[in-house]
A and B are shown apart, each in its own frame.
Chain A
Amino acid sequence: MKGGRRSPSPAEAGLALLFLLAAMPALAHVQQGQAAGFLTGLKHPVSGLDHVLAMVAVGLWGAQLGAPAIWLLPVTFPMVMAFGGFLGLIGVPLPGVEIGIAASAILLGGMVAKEARPPLGLAAAMVASFAVFHGHAHGTELPAGQSGLTYSIGFVIATGCLHATGIGIGVIHRWGWGRIALRAAGAAVGAAGVFFLWRALA
């Protein structure tokens, strides 16, 4: 090695050639399916009544429970729901998804109807466990040719807006008539959940 550079051996040259051939090209292409993916993701959560009612019920319950649940539930729910979607995407099966979604409407509606106040950890765990079912069922239905990223953005925004709707409606909890109306709404969600369960089992 002293006194200058030596020529590469055939083995070294062959190895370098192999690396060069194995390197993948950088692909330049125009983005496709971005807007369609976003709109599909945005529409998907509001296209199923079972999902809509359960998400709104989460917001209603959060409004009934007050701080810190009113912000803890909307912060944790999207991440746990996405975890359910992640499980679905990587092929982990979750049996009884439709039954789980129907049960979420029954139990969340029941909690709102009873104006139940369990410990915060229990409420968060209950909502989180249902979120997995919703994410598994709804977070993975991307039509071919559309962008997974913008679909995910639309899906998460729509779900968050449903929570916000529930919290917004829940503002009426400060008035006596509003508390009664909220409990009636919870009972309606629970009744709808029974219908969804019957349909899932039929």
Chain B
Amino acid sequence: MRKRVLWTSAAGALLLWSGAAHAHLMTTGLGPVYDGISHLFLTFDDLLPAVAMALLAGLNGAATGRRALFILPAAWLAGGAAGYLSATAPVPAGVTALSLLVLGILTAADRRLAPAAVTALAVILGMVHGWLNGASIAAAGREASGLVGIAGANFLLVALVSARVVSLKRPWTRIAVRVAGSWIAAVGLLLLGWSLSGRA
């Protein structure tokens, strides 16, 4: 009984804390899968963190890049399904800012991370952003198959970006990736400010 009360309270707290899911849904006229594909490539809130994840995975080598290639889309899909079924968004709206900040700083620092750490980051990123996408799709009354398009676009993005970064051999090209990471972190920090000031 005590355990049930605890679970009920936790669920209640989660509901009370839930923020609004800001759906930036695309309508291509070609169906929900294509809507999902275009969503990722036209929505900076999701595109930029996914690019940052791909850059980070690529900097950490081919094996880590291959892991992220499968884990990020799978986590995005799983989080999306959970968000679609719950139709609430129990994560603060400033989550994009934190994703950009963390992944951007790690990319700019170019520190070798354990494969498990990169995997964990991919899982968290995919679950959180997927959840927001799924909740938005449910709230808009769209079909859940749009999530397949988003996850597929993620697979394509990570495959192209990570493979390109892994193939970089000249020192200055790796520095260019680090500069891109610092720009992403800077955008994340500014976005965090906008979120905290309520002007995002």
Residues of A participating in the B interface, judged by any CB pair closer than 8 Å:
1, 12, 15-16, 18-20, 22-31, 34, 71, 74-76, 78-79, 81-83, 85-91, 139-140, 142, 147-150, 152-153, 155-157, 160
Interface residues of B: mostly helix, strand, loop or mixed?
Answer: helix
The answer on a CB contact under 8 Å between B175 and A71 is yes
The answer on a CB contact under 8 Å between B190 and A25 is no
Interface centre among A31, A34, A87, A152 (most CB of B within 10 A): A152
The answer on a CB contact under 8 Å between A79 and B182 is yes
Which residues does chain A contribute within 8 Å of B85, judged by CB atoms?
Answer: none
Cα A88 to Cα B197 with chains together (Å): 10
**Contact A89:B44 (CB < 8 A) given known A27-B22, A75-B179, A148-B191:** no
The answer on a CB contact under 8 Å between A15 and B189 is no
Cα A31 to Cα B26 with chains together (Å): 9
The answer on a CB contact under 8 Å between A25 and B185 is no
The answer on a CB contact under 8 Å between A148 and B1 is no
The answer on a CB contact under 8 Å between A149 and B19 is no
Number of residues on chain B facing chain A (CB within 8 A): 51
**Contact A89:B193 (CB < 8 A) given known A22-B15, A28-B136, A148-B200:** yes
Interface centre among A26, A74, A90, A157 (most CB of B within 10 A): A26
Residue of B nearest to A76 (CB): B182
The answer on a CB contact under 8 Å between A79 and B186 is yes
Number of inter-chain CB pairs below 8 Å: 138
List 6 tightest A-B contacts by C-beta distance, closest first. A89-B193, A26-B139, A148-B194, A26-B21, A82-B186, A28-B140
Residues of B participating in the A interface, judged by any CB pair closer than 8 Å:
1, 8, 11-12, 15-16, 18-25, 43-45, 48, 87-89, 96, 104-105, 108, 135-136, 138-140, 172, 175, 178-179, 182-183, 185-197, 199-200
Contact of A150 among B16, B18, B44, B87 (CB under 8 A): B44
**Contact A24:B187 (CB < 8 A) given known A89-B199, A90-B196, A149-B200:** no
29 contacts between A and B (CB under 8 A): A1-B1, A16-B8, A22-B16, A23-B16, A23-B18, A24-B89, A26-B135, A26-B138, A26-B139, A27-B21, A28-B23, A28-B139, A71-B175, A71-B178, A75-B175, A82-B186, A82-B187, A82-B188, A86-B190, A89-B190, A142-B194, A148-B194, A149-B44, A149-B96, A149-B200, A152-B187, A156-B186, A156-B187, A160-B183
Interface residues of A: mostly helix, strand, loop or mixed?
Answer: helix
The answer on a CB contact under 8 Å between B185 and A149 is no
